[in-house]
Structure 1
């Protein structure tokens, strides 16, 4: 029996090697391409066919799958039983689980006085916050840009399964553009722009942190935001990260939005632990980029 990828390749009459089919299958599963219309799926597969960059990213993402599991586990964990589900079954599983969790939480918060029930509907409106990826795009990161984007591909599945918005914010010393993928769903135009986007210059972290704070302010009813920073590890304003102004901004984000920061640095020897004091965890990509 043909799987979805084999059927699509046959339908659109394109020639792929068995290896390329595996890469496309990985993207199909992680990016939930089955939700796209036939026209959009044709666009994506045609783009994959023509874009060596995307094919290389998919190959590397597949190779990094085990490593990315460890990183993804620092975003609200997915239980082993849930990992085994996929496609429509997975989405239904999460929807049922979240509905049960919301009912249980609401029941715990209800206060009864006589024959009056006090129900905290405002509290119940709060949902898990977005996943915000800050991707350094500079001269120093030029050799690692495709690798970092490969890692990000796997994060779409986490955002999708948890019904969380996924923001991707490329940055150098300022922010020129950002992409929002609602509930982890693919927007083909933004996805293509993200894959092809490149910037030059040097990196400054404070502007992107202020930008992230603005994104969190737009999500007033959300909590437990996850911010993932991809960096070479040597921002030009690194010394200011330990200053009072930066600490006040970061402390507010942690307190008000329960923000957790994960830093993925390219080289451990470039990483300044004091400057990135706010990181809950840090990973180093040395092994992956050798």
Structure 2
């Protein structure tokens, strides 16, 4: 019996090399191409043939499969000691964790007027917050653009599985555009724009963090959010991250929105641990780059 990818290849009479076949299978699995209409699937396949960047992303992703698996398993909200091998136990564990977080937040939102307690039970129904990926797109990051974008692909699968919105925010000194993939579902127009997006110049980190805070304010119905920052490691305003204003903002994001931060830096030697004090975890892409 043919699997979904073989059926897709047969349906559109695709002529693929062995390498292209592997690339398409990876993309099919991680981007849930089965949810697209026939017309959208055809558009995606045509783009797959035309886009060297997309094929490079798939190639990097396959080559770095083990590293990417470790990275995705270490999303900040999922501490290593808490990961369980049994899927059912894992789901139950996180259900309990979310319930505790919701109850704790609800407790602080109860108000009293006279003998009446006002309890915002709607708050109790909150769900997991978004995954927000901040992707530095600068002159210094140009050589690593395809690599970084390949590392983002598995987050589509995670967001889809957990029913979370996935935001991708390219940045240099400011924010020119951002992309939202609702519940991790593929939007072809935004996905193609994301792949082709390029910027030049230097990177400033504070504008993108302020932008992320705005996204979290729009998702106040959620209990926790994960922010993944791809960076060369040397933002031009990095020294301001240790200032009082930035610390107040980042502490508020952690406390109010249960935000946790993962930083993926291109070079460990360029990474300033003091400036990125707010990161729950940091990965370095030196081995992958070599």
TM beyond 0.5: yes
What's the CA shift string for 1:6-52, capped at 9, x where partnerless?
22122212210112111100110111111111111111111111211
**Are 1:283 and 2:283 an aligned pair?**
yes
2:15 matched to which residue of 1? Answer: 15
Q: Separation in 1 of the partners of 2:99 and 2:178?
A: 34
**Are 1:163 and 2:189 an aligned pair?**
no
1:239, distance to aligned residue in structure 2 (A): 0.6
Q: Separation in 1 of the partners of 2:213 and 2:95?
A: 28
Give the number of equivalent residue pairs: 268
Change (3 A) 1:79 1:63: farther
Q: Separation in 2 of the partners of 1:147 and 1:101?
A: 34
Q: Could you tell me the TM-score, scaled by structure 1's length?
A: 0.87
1:259 matched to which residue of 2? Answer: 259
What's the CA shift string for 1:162-217, capped at 9, x where partnerless?
10000000000000000000000000000000000000010000000000000000
2:244 matched to which residue of 1? Answer: 244
1:112 matched to which residue of 2? Answer: none
Is there any run of 5+ residues in structure 2 with no aligned partner, and where?
104-117
Q: Separation in 1 of the partners of 2:217 and 2:275?
A: 24
What's the CA shift string for 1:53-86, capped at 9, x where partnerless?
111110111121211121112224475454xxxx
Q: Separation in 2 of the partners of 1:69 and 1:205?
A: 27
**Are 1:145 and 2:145 an aligned pair?**
yes
1:134 matched to which residue of 2? Answer: 134
**Are 1:47 and 2:47 an aligned pair?**
yes
Bigger shift: residues 250-259 or 47-56:
47-56
What's the CA shift string for 1:221-266, capped at 9, x where partnerless?
1121100000000000011111111111101000100100000000
Tell me the secondary structure at the aligned position of residue 174 of structure 1.
Answer: coil
Change (3 A) 1:242 1:25: same
CA RMSD, Structure 1 to Structure 2 (Å): 2.4
Matches within 5 A, 1:204-219: 204-219=204-219
Is there any run of 5+ residues in structure 1 with no aligned partner, and where?
83-92, 110-117
Matches within 5 A, 1:1-290: 1-75=1-75, 76-77=77-78, 79-82=84-87, 101=95, 105=99, 121-290=121-290
Tell me the secondary structure at the aligned position of residue 175 of structure 1.
Answer: coil
Q: Could you tell me the TM-score, scaled by structure 2's length?
A: 0.87
1:115 matched to which residue of 2? Answer: none
What's the CA shift string for 1:91-121, capped at 9, x where partnerless?
xx9xxx68x948x949x96xxxxxxxx9963
Q: Separation in 2 of the partners of 1:145 and 1:196?
A: 10
Tell me the secondary structure at the aligned position of residue 128 of structure 1.
Answer: coil
Change (3 A) 1:65 1:134: same
